[in-house]
């Protein structure tokens, strides 16, 4: 970031963790390996000492998943890893958000945040803001592309990671219909601090 020859800019994209959890559950098998890697990254980063797993395992898990301290049942294993990975992601977001708040001016000028929901609701305004931040021109074709990708006729695909034009405004609230109240409460418990800083 301090290297003048690079002129690096950082845009950090955030999304409502409840929506993230909903999307990750929808693609649970495709994300299983990634979730395990995320969980391993937490264990590598944690200082040695008494385990904190008891509190963390109660978050984002289906009811009765860890009865008696047993390993998760095969049918719940993907949800176990997805839930734990989301908690790690939210902890990393919180560290980033707190760092950005305390950052020196030279870093603040090179870093900006973008909420997925803001991009979906106001694609033109957010695109212009990002391009201004990056010092890039705003060609009309790019604006047309962004509108097409966020205002398409379809809603979504059952195939994970399929990038297509869709009505992304529906996607930002899909978690309200798909997550149970317990799942919502668990996500909010695990991600509450980051959600508060991001105004979710």
pLDDT tens-digit series, residues 120-138:
999 999 999 999 999 999 8
In the predicted structure, residue 58 carries a pLDDT above the cut 80: no
What integer pLDDT is reported at residue 73 of this predicted model? 53
Q: Which is nearest to 41 in space by CA: 84, 77, 70, 80?
A: 84
Sign (positive/negative) of CA torsion 125, 127, 129, 132? negative
What integer pLDDT is reported at residue 76 of this predicted model? 64
What integer pLDDT is reported at residue 59 of this predicted model? 47
What integer pLDDT is reported at residue 56 of this predicted model? 44
Q: What percent of the chain has pLDDT over 70?
A: 73
What integer pLDDT is reported at residue 51 of this predicted model? 45
- Crossing angle of helices 17-26 and 77-102, in 10° steps, is 150
Find the helix or strand (DSSP H, E) in which 98 lies: helix 77-102
Give the tokens for residue 114: 């973008």
pTM score, two decimals?
A: 0.76
CA gap 10, 56 in Å, rounded: 30
Q: Distances in Å between the alpha carbon of 175 and those of 18, 63, 101? A: 6, 19, 29
In the predicted structure, residue 13 carries a pLDDT above the cut 90: yes
In the predicted structure, residue 71 carries a pLDDT above the cut 80: no
Higher-confidence residue of 50 and 170: namely 170
In the predicted structure, residue 68 carries a pLDDT above the cut 50: no
What integer pLDDT is reported at residue 18 of this predicted model? 95
**Across the chain, what does the average pLDDT equal?**
79
Rg (CA), the chain: 19
- Contact status, residue 142 vs residue 150, Cβ threshold 8 Å: no
Give the tokens for residue 122: 């106001």
């Amino acid at each position: 970031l301090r290297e003048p020859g690079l002129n690096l800019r950082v845009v950090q994209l955030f999304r409502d963790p409840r929506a993230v959890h909903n999307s990750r559950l929808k693609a649970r098998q495709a994300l299983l390996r990634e979730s395990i890697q995320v969980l391993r990254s937490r264990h590598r980063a944690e200082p040695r000492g008494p385990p904190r797993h008891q509190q963390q395992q109660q978050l984002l898990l289906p009811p009765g998943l860890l009865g008696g301290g047993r390993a998760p049942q095969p049918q719940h294993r993907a949800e176990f890893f997805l839930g734990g990975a989301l908690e790690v992601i939210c902890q990393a977001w919180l560290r980033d958000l707190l760092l950005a708040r305390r950052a020196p001016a030279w870093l603040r000028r090179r870093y900006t945040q973008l909420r997925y929901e803001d991009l979906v609701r106001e694609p033109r305004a957010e695109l212009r803001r990002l391009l201004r931040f990056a010092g890039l021109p705003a060609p009309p074709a790019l604006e047309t592309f962004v509108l097409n990708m966020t205002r398409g006729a379809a809603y979504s695909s059952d195939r994970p990671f399929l990038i297509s034009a869709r009505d992304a405004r529906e996607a930002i609230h899909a978690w309200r219909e798909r997550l149970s109240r317990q799942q919502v409460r668990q996500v909010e418990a695990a991600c509450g601090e980051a959600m508060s800083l991001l105004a979710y």
